[in-house]
A and B are shown apart, each in its own frame.
Chain A
Amino acid sequence: MKTMKKLICILTAVACLYACKGDDMKASNNPDSGVGRGGSTARFTIVKDYLYIVDNQSLKVFRISAPDNPVYTKRVSLNTVVETIFPFQDHLLVGTQTGMFIFSISNPENPTRVSVYSHVVSCDPVVADGNYAYVTLRSGTNCNRGVNVLDVVDIKDMRSPQLVKSYPMQSPHGLGVDGNLLFVTEGNFGLKVFDKSNPNELKLIKTFDDFTAFDVIPESNVLIITGKQGIYQYSYNAQNELKLLSIIPIKS
Chain B
Amino acid sequence: MDYLNQISMKKIYFLAIVALFIGCTTEEEKVANKKVMGYKPIYTDYESIRKIELQKARGLTSPGKIYIKGKYLYINESGDGIHIFDNTDKANPKPLAFLSIPVNKDISIKDNILYADNGDDLVTIDISDVNSIKVLKRVEKAFPYPSYPNERGYFECVDPSKGYVKSWEYVELTNPKCFR
Contact = CB atoms under 8 A, between A and B. Distances in A.
B75 A231 contact: yes
Interface stretch (A12-20, A107-115, A148-156, A215-223): A215-223
A204 to B, nearest CB: 25
Contacts of A37: 67-69
A231 to B, nearest CB: 6
B68 A142 contact: no
A226 B66 contact: yes
A67 B151 contact: no
Contacts of A215: 65-66
B110 interface: yes
Contacts of A56: 144
Interface string A41-77: 1111110000101011000101010011110100000
B75 to A, nearest CB: 6
Given A43-B105, A72-B142, A250-B60, A35 B110 contact: yes
Interface string B125-155: 0100000000011010011100000110000
A230 B151 CA distance: 26
Interface stretch (B8-16, B45-53, B88-96, B163-171): B88-96
Contacts of A43: 105-106
Given A226-B63, A245-B91, A34 B144 contact: no
Contacts, number: 131
Nearest to B134: A68
B108 A251 contact: no
**How big is the A interface, by class?**
35 or more
Contact of A34 (B62, B75, B111, B137): B111
B122 A62 contact: yes
A34 B110 contact: yes
A166 interface: no
B63 A251 contact: no
B61 A46 contact: no
A246 interface: yes
Given A37-B67, A45-B108, A56-B144, A250 B124 contact: no
10 contacts: A38-B66, A41-B65, A51-B108, A51-B115, A67-B110, A67-B137, A70-B115, A226-B65, A230-B63, A235-B90
